[in-house]
Amino acid sequence: MSREYDLIVIGGGPGGSSAAITAAREGSRVLLLERGRFPRQKVCGEFVSTESLALLKWLLGESQQHLLQKALTLSESRLLLDGRIIHVPIDPPAASIARYDLDLALWNAAQQAGVTALQETTVQAIEGEDPFRVVTPSGEFGGRAVINATGRWSNLKLAENLPFGTRWLGLKAHFHGNGDLEASVDLYFFDGGYCGVQPVRGSDGSMLLNACALVSPGVASTLAEVLDRHPLLAGRSRAWTTTFEPVATFPVVLRQPVPVSGNVMNAGDAAGFVDPFIGDGIALALRGGNLAARNLYPFLNATAELKQSLEGYESAYRQVLSPAYRASSLLRKFMGVPRALRGAVLAACESSPRLASYLVEVTRSKPIELQPEFHQ
């Protein structure tokens, strides 16, 4: 195995796999390092927004298309808030894909694309530059460029604005719904958090429900407590049975993006963490990884300095992806205003799904200009 690469990508989630596949398909020698092992459960609502589906299809390549064939489509969202039910059409539909399958399929697609992909390899440090030295327990690797896609939290702590603010708890499990298979993504809001419920296909093809919550730890510390926080959800979930022990993550802290730290590009949650209720984190990771790798082409092909590639990425990121963070943080503030004040807006949304749809639309990252092959 070689120890020298054009690009080293740290973190094998959607952001890292996307960056690695994009660079490898362009002819770069890419090393992808992941601390964990796939497949694994991950706290996530598993809502894959429409904006990223063409890119996901391209990233998966021929060998992993089965993932999209078995994905469920979601054409409606229901927001259950302040005693109202607001229907929001999702047009074109989004997809529901278990992270257990999504992350593994992307990892496999990276290997198919020629990426050297090592699991259970934690990066301990990034040193020097030109080449960078990436330190792991199994030795050092050299790379002309490095992309940090280590997610929301990592030992590397590269992004300057380290998270502060409200510390949320994330919880998730899959359930047998015993006949409950509503084909919409339902968001149940209550004081101190919310819980999303949507149908998802299990690895064995069975139809399940994913319940995923973001709560203040003072409000609930288990998924069972979360399900009891909303009267309609408590009633609905009574017949459900879990398929695995709920998984948890803490702390979850929302953070505005920092696309570049020093001479390293940050992609996905490592760049910034967007409020999960807009269901765009996977899309932002896929698109951020792709954008980072594309901006490295000129440097890796010796037609630009690394500095120019970094500037190109930062500017593209601010233009294409940052608006989603700003809009979702405004929506989050709106959720925090007193119930009486938000009542008028919610009533308008309740009677006009088009208005609700528009408000969701503004939280979306702008579509990336697709390269021709993304349309295949």
Ligand X SMILES: Cc1cc2nc3c(=O)[nH]c(=O)nc-3n(C[C@H](O)[C@H](O)[C@H](O)COP(=O)(O)OP(=O)(O)OC[C@H]3O[C@@H](n4cnc5c(N)ncnc54)[C@H](O)[C@@H]3O)c2cc1C
Amino acid (1-letter code) at residue 290: N
Residue 127 is classified by DSSP as E
How many residues bind ligand X (CB under 6 A)? The answer is 40
Cα dihedral sign, 69-370-151-63: positive
Q: Of 36, 56, 181, which is closest to residue 100 (Cα–Cα)? A: 36
Rule CB under 6 A: say whether 242 interacts with ligand X: no
Separation of alpha carbons 72 and 68, rounded Å: 8
Report the residue from 71, 227, 252, 260 that binds ligand X according to the rule CB under 6 A.
252
Q: Does 51 bind ligand X (CB under 6 A)?
A: no
Binding range to ligand X, per CB under 6 A, among 143-151, 227-235, 253-261, 342-350: 143-151
Stretch touching ligand X by CB under 6 A, among 28-36, 105-113, 157-165, 187-195: 28-36
Q: How far is the CB of 11 from ligand X (least distance, A)?
A: 3
CA distance 147 to 13: 12
Closest CA to 282 of 61, 14, 100, 12: 14
By the rule CB under 6 A, 324 interacts with ligand X: no
Closest by CA position to 250, among listed 277, 217, 284, 222: 217
Tokens of residue 120, six digits = 């259970």
Supply the minimum distance, in Å, between the C-beta of residue 303 and ligand X.
28
Residue type, 317: Y
**Cα Rg of the chain (Å, integer):** 20
170 binds ligand X (CB under 6 A): yes
Q: Least distance (Å) from ligand X to the CB of residue 334?
A: 19
* Per-residue mark of binding to ligand X, 103-122 (x: CB under 6 A): -------------------x
Among 5, 28, 47, 312, binds ligand X (CB under 6 A): 47
**Contact between 73 and ligand X per CB under 6 A:** no
Q: Does 246 bind ligand X (CB under 6 A)?
A: no
At residue 34, the 3 state secondary structure works out as coil
- Is 46 a binder of ligand X (CB under 6 A)? yes
* x/- track of binding to ligand X for residues 199-238 (CB under 6 A): -------------x-x------------------------
Minimal CA–CA distance to 53: which of 41, 29, 71, 35? 71
Q: Is 147 helix (H, G, I), strand (E, B) or coil?
A: strand
Per-residue CA distances from 72 to 97, 133, 171, 246 (Å):
7, 42, 22, 22
174/200 Cα distance (integer angstroms) = 8
Are residues 240 and 228 in contact, defined by beta-carbon separation less than 8 angstroms? no
Task: Tell me if 74 contacts ligand X by CB under 6 A.
Answer: no
Among 5, 6, 7, 14, which residue interacts with ligand X (rule: CB under 6 A)? 14
Task: Indicate the residue among 6 and 34 with the shorter CB distance to ligand X.
Answer: 34
Closer of 14 and 143 to ligand X (Cβ): 14
Amino acid at 46: E
Cβ of residue 333: shortest distance to ligand X, in angstroms? Answer: 19
Least distance from C-beta 99 to ligand X, angstroms?
Answer: 7
Angle at 61 between CA 16 and CA 201, to 5 degrees: 80
Among 16, 61, 246, 312, binds ligand X (CB under 6 A): 16
The yes or no reply on residue 259 touching ligand X (CB under 6 A) is no
Which of residues 37 and 354 has its CB atom nearest to ligand X in the complex?
37
Paired residues of 125 in beta bridges? 135
Task: Give the residues lining the site for ligand X (CB under 6 A).
Answer: 10-16, 33-36, 43-47, 122-123, 149-152, 154-156, 170, 212, 214, 249, 252, 268-270, 276, 279-283, 285
